[in-house]
Amino acid sequence: MSIDQGARIVIAGGGIAGLSLALALKQALGEEFAVVLADPALATAPRTDNRAYAVAAGGRAMLETLGVWEAVAATAQPMTEMIVSDSRTKDAVRPVFLTFDGEVEPGQAFAHMVENAALIAGLKSACERVGVELRPTGVRRFAAEDAGVDIVFSDGARAEAALLVAADGARSKLRERAGIGWVGWSYGQSGIVATIGHERPHHGRAVEHFLPSGPFAMLPLADGGRLGHRSSIVWTERTQNVPALLSLDSADLLAEIETRFGLELGEIALESAVSAHPLGFGVARRFVDRRLALLGDAAHLIHPIAGQGLNLGLKDVAALAETIVDAARLGLDPGSPDVLEDYEKARRFDTVAMGAMTDGLNRLFSNDATPLRLVRDLGLGLVDRLPGLKRFFIREAAGLAGAPPRLLRGEAL
């Protein structure tokens, strides 16, 4: 077994959360501070995940500060408007209950649609440039002691670190291994994701139809594809219906999509493979343990109804990077209980609040009971008429409410 001396922080998981943290730490702390990121998926480029994310203004400011935004800017689509409607699947007219104009500040869109593959590629090459050690292996096990954490990778190599960050996704094995409990449930729903080409432009408008089986979101992507314009769909469907839908031939599947997508954008076509992701809710009982911090989906899993899952993870990155960098600059141990507690305090409340909000929204909207329809339509109509409340929601969703960490404000660490 080889032993790597001097690894200070080891991050398990090279999704967007893990890669962003590695980059933020290495950029701020430089050569003296070793940052290792391990993920078996690093060996399988390019990634094939067809998801696209609504990255909120705070996350975008962070990616800009980290020098990654320029790699995705050409294909990032600003969201200029968001429309919410409540209807049954076959309703020809879908009443609009809520509209948001998409600016947090004048000239600053509250979110940009960014494609997963472009963002992962941009983050990975930025990590390589600044000298993050990228290891195409998993973290198999670890043993934490007061003095440090001993990490064993799946190829048998070992490292000593001050801190291990578990960014290994919602089914985090590291969280399990640390004995950290998980409060969660499945929604019995899956998110069907695909890129759709269409004839007419979307003008940067995101549309979310609340249908009885769950929300159907049409999210604007940068122009391209065979028909000139593209959108990403997230179609929430009861999981039991998904295998039959995915086994349809492409013409029949497209017809099902068209029933939900509507005819406003003209002819539509499938521009990508269609994938389905089971949806659930979960929050870790603790975000930290001895020399361990949970990051991103390893700490929390929420329904994509408000497009906030990754945004929560980016807020974790901003908070954890700031806490570690400030401690390291003062010569403090970045894996000490005080530092980890600061991180947990910074993130716990926001995470639970957003989790409860998305869970409530999904329960309220994923059904067809008439009294519930009346209540929710009344609620949406009310929000629509109160500009102060709308501004609050927009700033909240953008990650700019309260006193955000420096990276979310676009300031370097």
Ligand X SMILES: Cc1cc2nc3c(=O)[nH]c(=O)nc-3n(C[C@H](O)[C@H](O)[C@H](O)COP(=O)(O)OP(=O)(O)OC[C@H]3O[C@@H](n4cnc5c(N)ncnc54)[C@H](O)[C@@H]3O)c2cc1C
- Contact region for ligand X (CB under 6 A) — 12-20, 96-104, 362-370, 391-399? 12-20
Q: Which of 297, 322, 344, 350 binds ligand X (CB under 6 A)?
A: 297
Region of 175 on the Ramachandran plot (φ > 0 left; ψ -120 to 50 alpha; else beta):
alpha
CB 85 within 8 A of CB 384: no
Q: Which of 130, 149, 211, 234 binds ligand X (CB under 6 A)?
A: 234
Q: Which two tokens stand for residue 328?
A: 């390291």
- What residues does 82 pair with on adjacent strands? 100, 206
CB of 370 to ligand X, least distance (A): 29
Which residues, in sequence order, are CB contacts of 111 under 8 Å at separation 6+?
Answer: 54, 55, 56, 57, 60, 78, 79, 102, 307, 397, 398
- Contact region for ligand X (CB under 6 A) — 51-59, 157-165, 254-262, 355-363? 51-59
CB atoms within 10 A of CB 264: 12
Tell me whether residue 172 or residue 373 sits nearer to ligand X (CB atom).
172
In angstroms, the CA 232 to CA 50 distance is: 9
Question: How far is residue 254 CA from its own chain's centroid?
Answer: 27
CB atoms within 10 A of CB 178: 20
In angstroms, the CA 97 to CA 94 distance is: 9
- Contact region for ligand X (CB under 6 A) — 33-41, 74-82, 177-185, 388-396? 33-41
204 binds ligand X (CB under 6 A): no
CB of 330 to ligand X, least distance (A): 28
Q: Which of 193, 207, 320, 413 binds ligand X (CB under 6 A)?
A: 193
Stretch 67-86: interaction string toward ligand X, x if CB under 6 A: --------------------
CB of 23 to ligand X, least distance (A): 13
Q: Which of 296, 334, 355, 405 binds ligand X (CB under 6 A)?
A: 296
41 binds ligand X (CB under 6 A): yes
Q: Which two tokens stand for residue 389?
A: 């409340």
How distant, in Å, are the alpha carbons of 48, 211, 353, 354, 389 from that of 300?
23, 26, 11, 10, 26
320 binds ligand X (CB under 6 A): no
Give the phi and the psi of residue 58 in degrees, each rounded to 5: -65, -45
Q: Which of 13, 335, 355, 404 binds ligand X (CB under 6 A)?
A: 13
CB of 119 to ligand X, least distance (A): 10
- What residues does 209 pair with on adjacent strands? 85, 216
383 binds ligand X (CB under 6 A): no
Stretch 107-146: interaction string toward ligand X, x if CB under 6 A: -------------------------------xx-------
In angstroms, the CA 225 to CA 270 distance is: 10
Q: Which of 7, 8, 14, 22 binds ligand X (CB under 6 A)?
A: 14
Peptide bond into 46 cis (omega under 30): yes
Q: Which run of H or E residues covers position 58?
A: helix 57-65
Binding-residue total with ligand X (CB under 6 A): 33
Stretch 149-188: interaction string toward ligand X, x if CB under 6 A: ------------------xxx---x---------------
Tell me whether residue 28 or residue 165 sits nearer to ligand X (CB atom).
165
Q: Which two tokens stand for residue 51?
A: 């998801």
Chain contacts with ligand X (rule: CB under 6 A) = 12-18, 38-41, 51, 53-54, 138-139, 167-169, 173, 191, 193, 234, 277, 296-297, 304, 307-311, 313
